Amino acid sequence: MQLLAGLVLYALSMAVLVTADLGAMPWDVLTQGITRHVDLSFGTVTLVVSALVLLAWWPLRQRPGLGTVANVVVIGALVDPALALLGRLPELPLAGRVALVVVGIALNALATALYIGVGLGPGPRDGLMTGVVGRTGWPLGPVRTAIEVAVVGAGALLGGTLGLGTLAYAVAVGPLVGLVLPRVVRR
């Protein structure tokens, strides 16, 4: 149940940040950029990108768990309905959009802690990061930063929304996950 709750909240947090239109999460900047060039929904592109990232695990000798597969399927399936639901909101003033960014980041931190805390396998993007660290011995922080900068850069070049929300997410989500994760880890 904790895994499912985390993944549902993760899809919702993605939709909240996209709806705020002040800058999406790094991988979602890429997804937005791709959707501008293909006739696929945001959720479908999320699912396809997740599957492609999983393929990159193979040479890194990463092994997906049940949580990894559930991450791909549940988030990919639920983000479009969440976007449709939030798309029914009236046009929000800047203060309302900023509030959505704050809510989206907080929801994402809780969601991340919930699904990681179950210990059933990392999400595709986290597994890519830990796989690169495991194969190269490079420090985790710079590897994560390099991956996310590359993804944001590619997404922005393709037309994804890069903004203050992206920066706020990058700065805030790690410390927030760090606060919540110890409270939800299942042993």
Task: Write the pLDDT tens digit of every residue in 14-38.
Answer: 999 999 999 999 999 999 999 999 9
How high is the pLDDT of residue 42? Answer: 98
Give residue 163's pLDDT.
96
The 10s digit of each residue's pLDDT in 132-149 is: 988 999 988 888 889 999
Number of domains in the chain: 1
| CA-to-CA dists, residue 78 to 32, 90, 136, 140, 170, angstroms | 16, 21, 35, 30, 23
Angle at which helix 26-35 crosses helix 2-20, to 10 degrees, equals 60
Alpha-helical runs (H) found in 61-139: 66-70, 76-86, 94-117, 124-136
The span from the CA of 70 to the CA of 8, in Å, is 10
**Contact predicate 24/147, CB 8 Å:** no
Which DSSP symbol is given to 90? P
Answer yes or no: is pLDDT of 178 > 90. Answer: no
The whole domain housing 110 covers 2-184
pLDDT the model gives residue 2: 95
Q: What is the dihedral of CA 132, 135, 136, 141, to 10 degrees?
A: 40
